[in-house]
Structure 1
Amino acid sequence: MNMHQNLRDDDKEGETTVLKYRAPALEKGLDVLELLAAHKRPLTLSQISAHLDRSVSELFRMVQVLENRGYVAPALRGDGLELTNKLFSLGMSRGPSQNLLASAMPIMQALSESTRQSCHIAIASDNQIVVIARVEAPGDLGFSVRVGHQAPVVKSTSGITLFSFQPHKMKEAWRAELMAETPPETWRTFDELCQFAQKNNYVQRRSDFTDGITDISCPIFSDGTVIAALTIPYIRSLGSESLEDATRKLQTAVQTISKSLGGVDTVERIPIR
């Protein structure tokens, strides 16, 4: 019996057999990557050792390999190691993400040219949003969010969009997880913004991160499920569209992207007061 047959038989036995096959070195490497991702800040080898309850000598070669392969790198600011964008790039090379970006990028480019604003797409990753694509505002001046930027779902405009338009069962499961780790006052604010989004079919709010910016955001659908948020960090400037016109054009853009992905045209454009 070959290995493939063994794996098929094991799959029939249930989840308990999944752990029968161990790869200690691989597990240590994954522990290091997950630790750095969770801490969002550089960690030295000794700190990694302490967090994982493993000796420095046990982790030294593993960290060296991860660095040589480009998954971690010395921190640009301060001491220690931090994740590179290599894992992010690998994830973005998968089919669904490529289909989304292939459909969205030309439309985002046209949206940016028309509104004179930058725009970006974000997806959900656990309790965070991650920006996976952006288009810079035309001209010499503008504001944009870098690809790879992460922020908590409950503190981001894209997060409000991604949560508000989920199917009911998915939203309830997500709600239970997010509420467990969110202060009550923060959750109340988030919930109020989600109610606005559901009523008006878009999100509009002043940025919590940068003065002078109003975020507007709409959902992108595929097969009737929201898969991403398209957001404009709007800045009023000479020659730019009004906030209302930019919002209408954003709504049109997400409808076009959603239709190209086979998404149900769930969010209709409505007059913006």
Structure 2
Amino acid sequence: MVGGLHEGDNRVTAKDDGEDRYKAPALDKGLDILELLSGIDEGLSLAEIAKALDRSQNEIYRMLDRLVRRNYVIRTPSDRFELSLKLFDLAHRHPPMRRLVSLALRPMRLFAREAEQACHLTVYARGSGVVVAQIDAPDYWGISVRVGTLINLLNTGSGHILLAYASDEERELMLGEREHVPNETWPERLDEVLASVRERGWEMRPSQQAEGVTNISVPVFGVGGRLLAALTCPRIRRLLGRPRSEQQILELLQASASQISAAARIN
């Protein structure tokens, strides 16, 4: 076993398959590296990658350099190489992400109408959350977040949901993407905050971007309990219409997230 890669691993590389009619050695080499790193928790050194793939360090280094420059692989301060989350990001541009948005829009509209508040759906992408769907409040007053807006993982309700329900390995990579962000402020006892979010199943916190706004966020799950997104209401205190308490907004938001999750599991 090398760095967590077991003998008998069923990955197939180009040199294993004699049936290939059209060879693309450079592409195969890059894919071999990505597939190798996908099964490693703590990264591998150049020498370990070369040994695992039975290639020279020179040819592996050239390929790694390109993968690092294209942000598919991260080079750590200890000179080890880890898979980034760029492939995860690309996957969210695939039709399944469009299906998630289409499944979410009706429950989100029903929430906005009943709660008289706006809401938005956020997924993870390369060190941030990204808003992929948004519904306005039904009248003049509400806080809207544009689709495509990047959401900070560290100081938002959506970010805390995305981090809290990630695996330990995913969370480490997600936070690693933010380590070099200029002027980043990391909250104290982040692990405790995220553990508390997981325990209660939601996040409710004053907005750090707009005064008088409380962000209420809940998770949306897919098949097998896998987190798909965070559903968030930037709640403002209304004086007209049917004012809803924070607890009532939370319950309505949870019902909406449950509807989206149920639809995602059967579609």
Q: TM-score, normalised by structure 1?
A: 0.62
Q: Which residue does the alignment assign to 1:158?
A: 158
For the pair 1:253 / 2:256, whether they are aligned, the reply is yes
Match of 1:5 in 2: 22
Deviation per CA, 1:13-38: give whole Å up to 9, x if none. Answer: 944889999xxxxxxxx98xx9xxxx
Aligned residues of 1:115 and 1:246 also touching (Cα < 8 A)? yes
What's 1:146 paired with?
146
CA–CA distance in 1 between the matches of 2:249 and 2:197? 16
User: Is the CA contact (8 Å cut-off) linking 2:151 and 2:158 kept in structure 1?
Assistant: no
Match of 2:24, as an amino acid? L
Shift of 1:174: 3.6
Are 1:243 and 2:260 counterparts? no
Q: Is the 8 A contact 2:158 2:232 kept in 1?
A: yes
Q: Name structure 2 gaps, 5 residues minimum.
A: 1-19, 34-54, 64-68, 72-89
Give me the whole-angstrom Cα distance separating, in 1, the residues matched to 2:122 and 2:96.
Answer: 14
**Which structure 1 segments of 5+ residues have no match?**
22-29, 35-89, 264-273
SS at match of 1:187: coil
- Determine the C-alpha separation between the residues in 1 that align with 2:21 and 2:121: 39
Pick closer, same or farther for the CA change 1:155–1:210 going to 2, 3 Å: same
8 A Cα contact 2:218 2:253, kept in partner: yes
Q: How many residues align?
A: 199
- Give the conservation status (yes or no) of the 8 Å contact 2:117–2:235: yes
- How far residue 191 of structure 1 moved from its aligned partner, in angstroms, is 3.4
Instruction: Label 1:234 to 1:5 Cα distance change in 2 as closer, same or farther (>3 A).
Output: same
Q: Pairwise CA RMSD of aligned residues?
A: 3.7
> Per-residue CA shift, 1:244-269, capped at 9, x if unaligned?
11101111111111111118xxxxxx
Q: Distance in 2 between matches of 1:138 and 1:108?
A: 12
Local SS of the residue matching 1:218? strand
Partners of 1:148 and 1:142 in 2: CA distance: 18
2:24 match: secondary structure: helix
What is the CA distance between 1:9 and its match in structure 2?
9.3
- Over 3 Å counting, the alpha-carbon distance change for 1:136 and 1:178 in structure 2 is same
Q: 1:10 to 1:124 in 2, by over 3 A?
A: closer
Aligned residues with identical type, % of pairs: 26
Distance 1:18 1:112 in 2: 53
How far off is 1:216 after superposition?
0.3
Q: Which residue of 2 aligns with 1:229?
A: 230
Give the Cα separation in 2 of the matches to 1:197 and 1:219.
10
Do residues 262 (structure 1) and 255 (structure 2) align? no
Contact 1:160 1:190 in 2 (8 A): no
CA distance in 2, matches of 1:98, 1:179: 26
